[in-house]
Amino acid sequence: MSKLVSIAIPTYNRPDTLMYIINSYLTQDNIGELIIINDGSTKNYTNTIDKISSMCRHKNIKFKYFTNKEKKGAEYCRNKLKEEVEFDYILWGEDDVLLGDNYVNTLIQKKLNNPNIGAIAGRILYIDGKYYQEYPRTIQELEEKNNSKTNVYDFKLLEGYYRIKTDKDHIVPFVHAVCLMDTNFIKKYNYKDIYKINGYREESDFQLYYLLENKKNYYTSDCTCIHLNQRTGGQRQKGRLKNEYYIIKNNNRFIDENYELIVKSFPVKPKFHIKFLFVTNRISLITQSIFRKFFINK
C-alpha cells in the first residue's frame, strides 16, 4: 500500500513528552508526512524538533513545523494544520498520546472497506503521566482500570467511553481526538472558535459535520493508543476549578450548537436534561477526586 496518511500534532510546552511519543507515530505504516504546530510554547523545542526532523528524513517522511508567536488555542492550530495536509487521510495526534502497533493501518483498512465511515478512532487507555515510563509493567492494571464501563456511549451525558474492549465496532455521534479522517472532508469545514480556554468539545463538534454528509463515525477496539494524562502543557488550564468551569461551559455551547443535528440520528434526551446530568456528573467527579486526595491516598 502506498503512503496515504498525514499525521498532524499540535503541541504546547511538552517538548520532552513529544519526543517520547513521536516514534510511535513514525513507525506506523502508510505515513507520508508529519506536521507539527507549536502553539506559542514558552519551553524550548529546538533540540526536540531537530531530532524529529532527522527521524523523518531517515524514514523518508515529509516533515513540516510551524510556530505561533503566542498561544492561539486548539481551534487555530487545527485549522492551520488541516490546510497543510497533502495526503489522502489525516491522523490527528496529540503530544501526550502514544500509538499502539498498527493503530493507523487498522483504521485505514476499516475506512477502505467501508465508504460509509466518517471519523474513526481506536481504543484509548489512560495512565498517569508521571508513570508513563513504567507503562509496560502496569499493563494488566491499566487494562482492568480502563475496562470498568459496560457501554461504549452514554447518551444521557453525550459522552463516549472509548477505552472499552468490544467484540464489534460501534457507530457513535463522535469519537475521541486521536482519529482518522478524510483530507477532502476536513478541508471543506473549519473548527469553530467558540470552545474557549481548554477547547473541550471542539473536535467533537467538527466530527459532527460527517453527519451532514450522511456518514457515520465509528469506534473500534481493534487498535489502541495510550493517553499519558500529563498535568501541564497542552490545553490543560492551571487550576482544577477553572478547567471544570470551561468543560461545563463548552459542553453547554456544544449542545446548543449541535443538538438538532444529533437528535436526528441518535436517541438523546432533551437539552436541559443532558446539561443538568452533565453538571451533576462533573461535580461528582470533582468530589470523588478530592475525597481520594485527602482521605484515601494519605
How is residue 100 written as a grid cell?
499502539
3-class DSSP state for residue 206? helix
Contact 223, 106 (CB under 8 A): yes
Tell me which residue has cell 481506536: 122
User: Does 201 have pLDDT greater than 60?
Assistant: yes
- pLDDT in the model for residue 127: 82
The separation between CA 284 and the C-alpha centre of its own chain, rounded to angstroms, equals: 24
- From start to end of 138-274, where are the E strands? 153-154, 159-160, 170-172, 179-182, 216-227
pLDDT in tens, 184-200: 999 999 999 999 989 99
Class of domain 5-296: alpha beta
How is residue 98 written as a grid cell?
502514544
pLDDT in tens, 9-33: 999 999 999 999 999 999 999 999 9
Sketch the domain layout of the chain as residue ranges: 5-296
Amino acid found at 156:
K
Contact 174, 160 (CB under 8 A): yes
User: Does 139 have pLDDT greater than 60?
Assistant: no
Share of the chain above pLDDT 90, in %: 78
Please tell me which of 69-73, 138-142, 238-242 the model is most confident about, judged by mean pLDDT: 69-73
- pLDDT in the model for residue 145: 60
Tell me which residue has cell 441518535: 266
- pLDDT in the model for residue 137: 47
User: Does 231 have pLDDT greater than 90?
Assistant: no
pTM comes to 0.91
Q: Which residues pair with 90 in a beta bridge?
A: 6, 181
Distance (Å, rounded) from C-alpha 146 to C-alpha 240? 22
User: Does 131 have pLDDT greater than 60?
Assistant: no
How is residue 166 written as a grid cell?
468490544
Between 148 and 241, the more confident residue is 241
Closest Cα to residue 118, out of 37, 165, 188, 167? 188
Q: What is the DSSP string of 169-181?
A: -EEES---SSEEE
CB-based contacts of 18, cutoff 8 Å, min separation 6: 9, 11, 36, 45, 48, 52, 95
How is residue 274 written as a grid cell?
443532558
CB-based contacts of 198, cutoff 8 Å, min separation 6: 235, 236, 237, 243, 246, 247, 250
Categorize the per-residue pLDDT at 3 as very low, low, confident or very high, splitting at 50, 70 and 90: confident
CB-based contacts of 7, cutoff 8 Å, min separation 6: 25, 28, 31, 33, 34, 35, 90, 91, 93
Give the containing element (helix H, strand E) for 155: none
Distance (Å, rounded) from C-alpha 163 to C-alpha 278? 20
